Structure 1
Amino acid sequence: MNVLTNAVLTTGPGTASRTSPISVDGHTMAPDRLLRYLQIKVHHLIQDHDWDSVHVVGGYDRQAVISAHEKNGKLFNSERPTAQVNGRDLVIKAFPGADYVHHYALIIATYLFMTGKAADTVTYDLPDPAVSREAVKQLDLDLDGDLVIVGWGLAHLAPPDGTWTYGHGYAWQRTQVHGRRVVYLGFLHSIWGDVAGRVVTRLAELGARDVVYVGKVGALNPDIEPNTRLATGNTSLVGGRLVTWPDFFGDFATAQPGVHTGIHVTSPSILLENRDWLTEHAGHAFVDPEIGPMGAAAHRAGIGFGYLHVISNNLARHYPADLSNERHRDVVQRRTVLIGQIRDIIADRLAARPI
C-alpha cells in the first residue's frame, strides 16, 4: 500500500483546510484492522456513493441524514456525525469540537484512500470556540457538591432500577452512594477531546464538586493485554506540557489489584498515533483524547477529577483485541467484568473516605 504524508493544516475557525490521509503503513494499527476501524465510523453516504467534495464542520444536527452505522442498542455514545447533501457535495456535521472535527476529517480521508477513492476531496472547518462553548452549555443540571460520573459503561455503573432523565443530547440519573450524592451523566453523542474539557468546565459551573470519567485508554506498555486491566493516574501530557489535577481517587485506586498507573498522553486523534509517535511517547503509560483536557479543566475550576478506564487496546504490540473488534462477545464479556470492578472501586472509595 502506498504511503502518503499526513498534510492536515490546522487553522483557525472559518478557514477550510484540506485533509490528506495518514501514512497507513506507519500506523500502530495493522492496515486491515485500521480499515475495519474506519468502516464502522464513516457515514454510509460516503461508503455507498462518490462525491465531488466532503466538508466536515462542527454542528449537532439530528435533522440531517443519520448514519446507518450508528451504534444501535447502546444507551450512550451511540450517535455518529450526520450528513447534509448539497447536490454532488456532502457536508458532514460533527459535534462542534475542534479535535472531533479534525479527527473525523482524518477518518474520512484515510478511508477514501484505503478504498481506492479520491481522498483530496476532503476538507474541514474548525468550529469557533464560542460555538463549542454554546453547544456544551445545553447541558443543564441542578448540582450542589455532587460527584458526577461521566463517560462509558454507565448502564452497568448506575442503579439498574434508576430512571434516566433526558436533555439535549444527554441523560442523567441521581442516587446516593455511602451518603454521597452521585449523578451519572451520559451523552448520546461523542464528547471527544476538547469537548470533554468543556463538559468538566460546565459541570463545575453547575455546582459539581468532583468529576470521575470512566472510559477506555490505549496502553503504551507492550506487556499489557487489552481488556484485562484498568488504568488511572493524575497527570497527562497535553500539547507537550504536563498537567496535574487534584485526584478524586488519591492513592486508593492504584492500591487495587489489576489497576495500573502512569503518565497519560493526550492525543487528538487515533489516526495520528503512528510508530514515530509511539517511539516519542514510549516512556509514558496510556493514551486517549479526553483525560488531559478534563483534568486541566478541573484544575482550573478548582474541583476534583479522576479517571478509571478499561485498557482497551495496545499500541506497542498487536493483540487479538483492538479498536476494530470492540463488539465481539469475548471483548464485551471481559469489559463487563472490568466495569464491575470500576463500580466497586468508586463505591469503596466513597465508603473509605466520603468527600
Structure 2
Amino acid sequence: MSLPSNSLLTAPVHGQLRAAPIPCDGHTMGRDSLLRYLQIKVHHLIQEQDWESIRVVGAYDRSAVVSRYEKTGKLFNVERPTATVHGRELVIKAFPGADYVQHYALIIATYLAMTGRPADAVTYQPPGHAECRAAVEELNLELNGDLVLVGWGLQHLAPKGGVWTRGPGYAWQRAEVAGHRVVYLGFLHSIWGDVAGRVVARLATLGARDVVYVGKVGALDPAIEPNMWLATGNESLVRGALVTWDDFFGDFAANQVDVQAGLHVTSSSILLENRDWLAKHSEYAFVDPEIGPMGEAARQMGIRFGYLHVISNNLARHYPADLSNERHGEVLRRRASLIDRIRSLIAGRLADGSTRNPGGAR
C-alpha cells in the first residue's frame, strides 16, 4: 500500500494506523457533494451514535451488523462493511484489501469531522498479504480459456433469462457470444483497489485467458461530461510507475465515436483526490482504484485485460452528475444506454475475427 505524504495518516498506534479527516474545502467533489457521498457510505451505527474508538479491519463477515444503508435494487456490489460492537468500541469489517480498509477509514474520519464530531478515534489495521490472498481464493470456478467479464452492470450485460450460480460473496453464469465462451462474474462486496488485482490473478490461475472489467471512471479532462461517454485504454500510473498491458480490445474500442481513449491513473481512495492531487495528474485522462492493479496483474500472469467504463464524474469541472447522486433517474437512464453500448462493443470485439480462438493456445 502506498501511504500519502500529506500527513493524512499518523504514525502507527499499537500496530494500527490513525486516519485523519480529509480537508473537505480542497476536495475535487466540493463540500456538499462530498458530504452526500459520505452519508451513503458510512455505517448507520456511526451515523446514529458516538463511539470512544472506531477500528477498521480487513474481514468479510456477513454475520456482523449489516448497514441499513446498503444498496438496494442491484444484483452486485450491494454490500457495505459490517460492524461489531465491543462496549464503546466499534469494529468495522471491510473486505480484506489494503486500499479498501484505508479508504473506508478515511471515509469515516472525514464524515465525523464534517458533521462536527471528534474524528481522532478512527484507526485501521492494514490486512496482511496472506489474509488478502486467502479472501480472494474463495473464488473458485472452472475456466478453460474463457473471457471473464467482471464488474458493474452485469445483470444487464449477461443474456436475459440466464441463471446465476452463487458462491461465497460472488455469482456467475456462462454464455456463448459470437462463438466464444464468456463467463459473467459479479461480486456482492466491493473489489476495491488491490483486491481487484488479486481477482485477476486468481482468474488467470483458474484458467481465464482474457479478463474485461466494466465499471465507472472519473474524468480529469474538464470537457468530458459525465454519463455521456465510455472510457478505455491500456496504460495506468500505479504507485508512481506506468504499467502497460496486452489490451483485449486492441484498437477496436478506442476507434469508436462514443469512446474516449486515454492514460489512466490509479488512486487508492476518492478521499485523496483533492485539488493538489488533480494538479499533479492533469495530463491523465481517467482515474479509478481498480484498473491499474488489474492490468498489472494481467501482465504478470500473461493474460489479456481490457476495460470499458462509463465516465461517471468529472474531477476538473463541476457537472450536475457526480458520485453523490448516482441513483437519480436521468443518471440511470443515460447509464442504461451506455450499458447497451458496452454489450454491443464486447460482442463486436469477439466477432471481429482478431481475438484468439476459444480453447486455443495462449
| TM-score of the pair, normalised by structure 1 | 0.97
SS in 2 for 1:83: strand
Letter in structure 2 aligned against 1:7: L
Q: Does the Cα contact within 8 Å between 2:108 and 2:122 map onto a contact in 1?
A: yes
Residue correspondence of structure 1 range 2-17 to structure 2 within 5 A:
6-9=7-10, 15-17=15-17
Q: 1: CA distance between counterparts of 2:257 and 2:273?
A: 29
Q: Does the Cα contact within 8 Å between 1:6 and 1:22 map onto a contact in 2?
A: no
Q: 2: CA distance between counterparts of 1:166 and 1:10?
A: 41
Letter in structure 2 aligned against 1:211: V
Residue correspondence of structure 1 range 207-286 to structure 2 within 5 A:
207-286=207-286
Aligned to 1:138: 138
Q: 2: CA distance between counterparts of 1:9 and 1:58?
A: 19
Residue correspondence of structure 1 range 316-327 to structure 2 within 5 A:
316-327=316-327
- Post-superposition shift, 1:15? 2.1
SS in 2 for 1:90: strand
Q: Does the Cα contact within 8 Å between 1:20 and 1:119 map onto a contact in 2?
A: yes
Aligned to 2:126: 126
Residue correspondence of structure 1 range 1-355 to structure 2 within 5 A:
6-9=7-10, 15-353=15-353, 354-355=355-356
Gaps of 5+ in 2: 1-5, 357-362
| TM-score of the pair, normalised by structure 2 | 0.95
SS in 2 for 1:255: coil
Letter in structure 1 aligned against 2:225: E
Letter in structure 1 aligned against 2:8: A
Q: 1: CA distance between counterparts of 2:251 and 2:240?
A: 25
Q: 1: CA distance between counterparts of 2:152 and 2:281?
A: 25
SS in 2 for 1:140: coil
- Post-superposition shift, 1:162? 0.2
Letter in structure 2 aligned against 1:65: V
Letter in structure 2 aligned against 1:326: E
Gaps of 5+ in 1: none
Aligned to 2:3: none
Q: Does the Cα contact within 8 Å between 1:148 and 1:185 map onto a contact in 2?
A: yes
Q: 1: CA distance between counterparts of 2:99 and 2:9?
A: 12
Q: Does the Cα contact within 8 Å between 2:232 and 2:262 map onto a contact in 1?
A: yes
SS in 2 for 1:63: coil
Q: 2: CA distance between counterparts of 1:10 and 1:59?
A: 23
SS in 1 for 2:282: coil
Q: 2: CA distance between counterparts of 1:294 and 1:30?
A: 29
Letter in structure 1 aligned against 2:270: I
- Post-superposition shift, 1:136? 0.1
Q: 1: CA distance between counterparts of 2:99 and 2:229?
A: 27
Q: Does the Cα contact within 8 Å between 2:10 and 2:20 map onto a contact in 1?
A: no
Q: 1: CA distance between counterparts of 2:99 and 2:7?
A: 16
Letter in structure 2 aligned against 1:249: F
- Post-superposition shift, 1:10? 7.8
Coordinate RMSD, CA, aligned? 1.2
**Pair 1:10–1:285, CA change in 2 (3 A):** farther
Q: 2: CA distance between counterparts of 1:154 and 1:11?
A: 40
Q: Does the Cα contact within 8 Å between 1:226 and 1:321 map onto a contact in 2?
A: yes
Q: Does the Cα contact within 8 Å between 1:164 and 1:171 map onto a contact in 2?
A: yes
Greater shift, 56-65 or 23-32, is seen at: 23-32
Q: 2: CA distance between counterparts of 1:35 and 1:72?
A: 21
Q: Does the Cα contact within 8 Å between 1:6 and 1:21 map onto a contact in 2?
A: no
SS in 1 for 2:254: helix
Letter in structure 2 aligned against 1:264: H
Q: Does the Cα contact within 8 Å between 1:6 and 1:23 map onto a contact in 2?
A: no
Q: How many aligned positions are there?
A: 350
Q: Does the Cα contact within 8 Å between 2:232 and 2:307 map onto a contact in 1?
A: yes
Q: 1: CA distance between counterparts of 2:336 and 2:106?
A: 31
**Pair 1:24–1:6, CA change in 2 (3 A):** farther
User: Structure 1, residues 243-265: CA drift from partner, whole Å, max 9, x if none?
Assistant: 00000000000111110011100
Q: Does the Cα contact within 8 Å between 1:11 and 1:126 map onto a contact in 2?
A: no
- Post-superposition shift, 1:307? 0.1
Q: 2: CA distance between counterparts of 1:7 and 1:261?
A: 32
Q: Does the Cα contact within 8 Å between 2:77 and 2:187 map onto a contact in 1?
A: yes
Q: Does the Cα contact within 8 Å between 1:150 and 1:184 map onto a contact in 2?
A: yes
Percent identical residues: 70
- Post-superposition shift, 1:121? 0.8
